[in-house]
Amino acid sequence: MENNPNLKIIHPEAKVYEGSFIDAFTVIGRGVIIEQDAYISKGVKIYGKAIIKAGTYIGENCIIGHPQRDFLKNMVKNKEQMINHEGPLVTINKSCIIRAGTIIYSEVTIGDNCQTGHNALIREKTEIKNNTVIGTNSIIDGNVSIGNNVSIQTGAYIPLFSTIGNNVFLGPYSKLTNDKYMMRKRFDLIGPTIEDNVSLGANSVIFPGVKVRNGTIVGAGAIVTKDTKEREIIVGNPAKFLKKIPDSWK
Amino acid sequence: MENNPNLKIIHPEAKVYEGSFIDAFTVIGRGVIIEQDAYISKGVKIYGKAIIKAGTYIGENCIIGHPQRDFLKNMVKNKEQMINHEGPLVTINKSCIIRAGTIIYSEVTIGDNCQTGHNALIREKTEIKNNTVIGTNSIIDGNVSIGNNVSIQTGAYIPLFSTIGNNVFLGPYSKLTNDKYMMRKRFDLIGPTIEDNVSLGANSVIFPGVKVRNGTIVGAGAIVTKDTKEREIIVGNPAKFLKKIPDSWK
Amino acid sequence: MENNPNLKIIHPEAKVYEGSFIDAFTVIGRGVIIEQDAYISKGVKIYGKAIIKAGTYIGENCIIGHPQRDFLKNMVKNKEQMINHEGPLVTINKSCIIRAGTIIYSEVTIGDNCQTGHNALIREKTEIKNNTVIGTNSIIDGNVSIGNNVSIQTGAYIPLFSTIGNNVFLGPYSKLTNDKYMMRKRFDLIGPTIEDNVSLGANSVIFPGVKVRNGTIVGAGAIVTKDTKEREIIVGNPAKFLKKIPDSWK
């Protein structure tokens, strides 16, 4: 069954490789490159500059290359069409699965073999390395660095200026925070640093600027108010030392 | 006002009953059955096999019959069009309200008179009985069984392999978990069992494999680390016995 | 690059001012007014009665004027087309930024210079004053009043019948609640009252009917079970007095 070609809008200066697939109700803007074997589902909008590399799947209704705030304001002022826009490059590398409803801003780089769940949000100036999973409804608010083999579970929240190492597990609805005084006192936002091999339990909260050291395990619902030590398990509100991690564990 | 018929894509092997309504910008795939008095809103995608029974409403931009992971990978590899796909049957029974933005995978059965809020996610191999409400942004991650008259409030999280009885109340952003060691030690995922008549407070967390017994009330923000007793109120982190439930309560 | 005019559906009784911009794949219903310099992005649906005032941006796939429950049921029963519907007025005032995926019901008023993140939900009978920010995935469940200069961070939850003053900060995934007995005992839903200048920490929970007094600071993860006093910091589960707020803070 052929789609009606009039149901797609592809900018003449977009570059769509042979052997890619673009479904109906899609919009591909100026400065977008869709490599071979990439799969663009129904209702997707991709704005330039953007590269979707070989073998990557973009699910229904995703928006790739969403404009950043300052551009958005100018765009409205000048009534510029998004399809003609060329913002800072967003790159989705090879063999990624970007599930339906995900929004990825301009100036983001996502490594090979990454996956998102549904309705994930990844804002600008963010770099995510390879083999990392970004769960459904999880939010990465921009200016964030994330390593390889990270498992970001459903609903996790990663605010501006956070740093996450390799092999990290962020449990469901775990939250990093960056705003210590919550509008009550002047404060420069500072995100936490989550070192390699850390596991954060479901619904845990990490305070602004806190360093969660290599291999720490944070219990479900724990509120982490200060830096942790390596390979310790901490639990409670506020989080306290429970025990060392057994040598038999990773 | 007539919609432009070219703005819908209906597969010739889909079966659309007279007396149903399908709005614009919709996609109805092969092997989909839309019964009489069903109402399909703008931007909805339904992929086969799927049955939408009489009197059911599907809100804007919903995706019904979303492919499971293994199929997705093959689909991308073979550049198969979703509209031609026929996966395991998804059934939405009579008089349901599926609100805008909800995503329901293949191999899901939803009973009569169920409702979802917006942007709910229900993944594969899930059965939901009758008169159950699945709130906005709540997530059911697949391989889950849910009874009758369950109230799943906004943002609740139900991971793989969870079981929920009848007349259960899951408060806003209550979370079940299934992964005890969070990548640090080998562990087979095991979800909690929530028995009949249980109420979980807002933002509570239930540990993997825990049985929450008939009629338990879990306080807001409680972290439930072990099995509970019937008709007890438990609160805190970790959750502890507060008092028996008064006989005058349900 | 011109959009194909057949890819928009604009009701002949909608009023679209010159100098506004409406992108492709959009639906503008009867009784909708789009003022000059308003910007309507791809895939947006706006149902009447609705006014989008000058300089306001509506991002991709937003739904404005979503029908309330009772109307929805009648609509399905009568197979009425949404585009012909005229429900209670929704007003989005000047220079707002409503980001992609946000859903706003009928009978909502949003003041000047407000912003939403992505996928925010604002249900019926809600009034939001000026310069207020409603974060990504935050949910306002209807019958809610919100003041000026409020910062509602990502994922905050505001249930039915809540009241929020001016200059309030609701941290990420902070939650108000309105249902004390969770289906176990008859109870009229009653939301909290959040007075002016309050700050709620990330993942905090406020009990039904609780008054959080002027200037209170609630710590991250705190569970607030009773009324607070002015300018106190409270923390823990259940939340207790930690210290008075220093005079040097706001």
Closest CA to A30 of A52, A8, A15, A42: A15
Q: pLDDT (tens digit, 9 = 90+) per residue, A31-85?
A: 999 999 999 999 999 999 999 999 999 999 999 999 999 999 898 999 889 999 9
For residues C81 and C64, what is the distance between their CA atoms, to the nearest angstrom?
15
Task: Give the neighbor-by-neighbor strand order of the sheet with A15-16.
Answer: A15-16, A32-34, A48-52, A86-92, A108-110, A126-128, A145-146, A163-164, A193-194, A211-212
C186 in contact with B, Cβ within 8 Å: no
Could you tell me the pLDDT band of residue A1, with boundaries at 50, 70 and 90? very low
Could you tell me the pLDDT band of residue C45, with boundaries at 50, 70 and 90? very high
Average pLDDT of chain B to the nearest whole number: 95
C171 in contact with A, Cβ within 8 Å: yes
Q: What is the predicted pLDDT for the residue at B1? A: 42
The partner residue sitting opposite C27, judged by closest CB among B42, B97, B117, is B42
- Cα dihedral value C78, C83, C86, C90, nearest 10: 130
The partner residue sitting opposite A175, judged by closest CB among C24, C151, C172, is C172
Q: pLDDT (tens digit, 9 = 90+) per residue, A159-199?
A: 999 999 999 999 999 999 999 888 888 888 999 999 999 99
Cβ-based contacts of C199 with chain A (< 8 Å): 181-184
Chain C interface mutation, best of A4, A8, A44, A45, highest count of C Cβ atoms under 10 Å: A45
The partner residue sitting opposite B79, judged by closest CB among A39, A60, A250, is A39
Q: What is the predicted pLDDT for the residue at A6? A: 67
Q: What is the predicted pLDDT for the residue at C5? A: 63
Cβ-based contacts of A221 with chain C (< 8 Å): 221
DSSP per position, C146-165? E-SS-EE-TT-EE-TT-EE-
B86 in contact with C, Cβ within 8 Å: no
Tell me which chains share at least 3 CB pairs under 8 Å with chain B.
A, C
Encoded amino acid at C171, one letter: G
Cβ-based contacts of A92 with chain B (< 8 Å): none
The partner residue sitting opposite B57, judged by closest CB among C72, C81, C139, is C72
- Residue A74 CB neighbours (<10 A): 12
For residues B9 and B188, what is the distance between their CA atoms, to the nearest angstrom?
43
Q: What is the predicted pLDDT for the residue at C187? A: 83
Start-end of H helices in A97-201: none
The answer on pLDDT for B3 being more than 60 is: no
Q: What is the predicted pLDDT for the residue at A167? A: 97
B6 and A6 within 8 Å at the Cβ level: the answer is: yes
Q: Beta strands C133-134 and C115-116: pairing type?
A: parallel
**Environment class of C180 (CB within 10 Å of its CB; exposed 0-12, middle 13-18, buried 19+):** middle
Chain A interface mutation, best of B6, B170, B183, B224, highest count of A Cβ atoms under 10 Å: B183
A205 and C217 within 8 Å at the Cβ level: the answer is: no
For residues C236 and B197, what is the distance between their CA atoms, to the nearest angstrom?
28
A137 and B139 within 8 Å at the Cβ level: the answer is: yes
Residue A122 C-beta-side C-alpha neighbours within 13 Å: 34
Contacts of B39 (CB under 8 A, 6+ apart): B20, B21, B56, B57, B58, C75, C76, C79
The answer on pLDDT for B5 being more than 70 is: no
The partner residue sitting opposite B175, judged by closest CB among A3, A136, A173, is A173
For residues C17 and C51, what is the distance between their CA atoms, to the nearest angstrom?
11
Looking at this predicted complex, what is its ipTM? 0.96
Cβ-based contacts of B83 with chain A (< 8 Å): 1
Contacts of A78 (CB under 8 A, 6+ apart): none
For residues C244 and A223, what is the distance between their CA atoms, to the nearest angstrom?
21
Average pLDDT value for residue range C140-144: 98
SS3 C232: strand
Contact yes or no for A159/A176 (Cβ under 8 A): yes
For residues C173 and C156, what is the distance between their CA atoms, to the nearest angstrom?
4
B156 in contact with A, Cβ within 8 Å: no
A171 and B181 within 8 Å at the Cβ level: the answer is: no
Distance (Å) from the C-alpha of residue B247 to the closest C-alpha of chain A?
31
Cis peptide before C49 (omega within 30 of 0): yes
Contact yes or no for A147/A132 (Cβ under 8 A): yes
Cβ-based contacts of B167 with chain C (< 8 Å): 183
Element (H, E) at A77: helix A69-78
CB interface of A with C, residues 2-21, below 8 Å: 6-7, 9, 11-12
Cβ-based contacts of A239 with chain B (< 8 Å): none
